[in-house]
Structure 1
Amino acid sequence: MKANTTKLVVLSVLFTSNNILFSVTHLNGNVMFWTSSGSKKSKGTKKVTLTTLSVAVKAIATWINNAEYKSIYVKTKGFNKNKKNVLKHLKSTFANVSLISDETCFPHNGCKSAKARRV
């Protein structure tokens, strides 16, 4: 593996209704490693349980420790009831979390509804 010029890595966490996706990228956006709770051999509603999330976070932690990155910038996006638990698990697993940001887009009024059809 090539020597790391920057020791900062970006961990993007996308919370969907059925799955949680993790991707580790450089600062310029090149994906180096990714995993999801569905790729850990869990199906259906079991993908958003705490045990599968902890397995996915442990997989990311082992990869980052092997790649010898020092600090992590965490970006989260989406809504899920386990978001706080995932962030707590990330903070306890990684010693140097430099920044946590939430980039969830929240519609304040939503799209314009369709006009009622008159027959």
Structure 2
Amino acid sequence: MCIKNLKSVKLNILFTSNNILCTVTNIRGKVLFWTSAGSKKSRGMKKVTLTTIISILGLISKYLNKSKIGNIHLNLNGFDKNKKIVLKYFKHSFFNILSITNNSMLSHNGCKNFKKRYI
């Protein structure tokens, strides 16, 4: 598929406890570009800091500017306090955010289990 014909892409960001994974895909799901905090040669807890997140987002925005893509569907997965930083970064950028989805499912312990009967 020719990259020049793309009008909008999906940006999937997965926050894990030790790493941050970012993939840029077309609407059908074919991966166009990916990066992670570990690929920036940062080790340990340095991978989840503010500076590495901004450097990763800078790489993604450079790729999108080079490909002349302006519309983004943003998909956030995982639990982290840094999701707000990502949203602020793309809010102040020149990209049009068409949709934001947050797929973080937090369970509320579900149904109560029955007591075991002791005889």
TM over 0.5: yes
Find the aligned partners of 1:51 and 1:90 in 2 and give their Cα distance. 16
Quote the offset at 1:107 in angstroms.
2.1
Q: Does 1:8 align with 2:17?
A: no
Quote the offset at 1:65 in angstroms.
0.7
Runs of 4+ in structure 1 off by over 3 angstroms are 3-6
Percentage identity across paired residues of the two chains: 47
Q: Does 1:109 align with 2:70?
A: no
RMSD, aligned CA: 2.2
Q: Residue 72 and residue 28 in structure 1: after superposition, are their counterparts in 2 closer, same or farther (change >3 A)? A: same
Q: Residue 40 and residue 94 in structure 1: after superposition, are their counterparts in 2 closer, same or farther (change >3 A)? A: farther
Q: Does 1:18 align with 2:18?
A: yes
Aligned residues of 2:21 and 2:37 also touching (Cα < 8 A): yes
Quote the offset at 1:91 in angstroms.
1.9
Find the aligned partners of 1:94 and 1:15 in 2 and give their Cα distance. 24
Quote the offset at 1:57 in angstroms.
0.3
**Residue in 2 that maps onto 1:46:** 46
**Residue in 1 that maps onto 2:116:** none
Quote the offset at 1:106 in angstroms.
2.2
Q: What is the one-letter code of the residue matched to 1:45?
A: M
Work out the number of aligned pairs and report it.
114
Q: What is the one-letter code of the residue matched to 1:48?
A: V
Find the aligned partners of 1:53 and 1:18 in 2 and give their Cα distance. 12
Quote the offset at 1:3 in angstroms.
5.3
- Aligned residue for 1:76, secondary structure, equals strand
Q: Residue 3 and residue 21 in structure 1: after superposition, are their counterparts in 2 closer, same or farther (change >3 A)? A: closer
Quote the offset at 1:101 in angstroms.
1.1
**Residue in 2 that maps onto 1:117:** none
**Residue in 2 that maps onto 1:68:** 68
Aligned residues of 1:75 and 1:100 also touching (Cα < 8 A): yes
Which structure: larger Rg?
Answer: 2
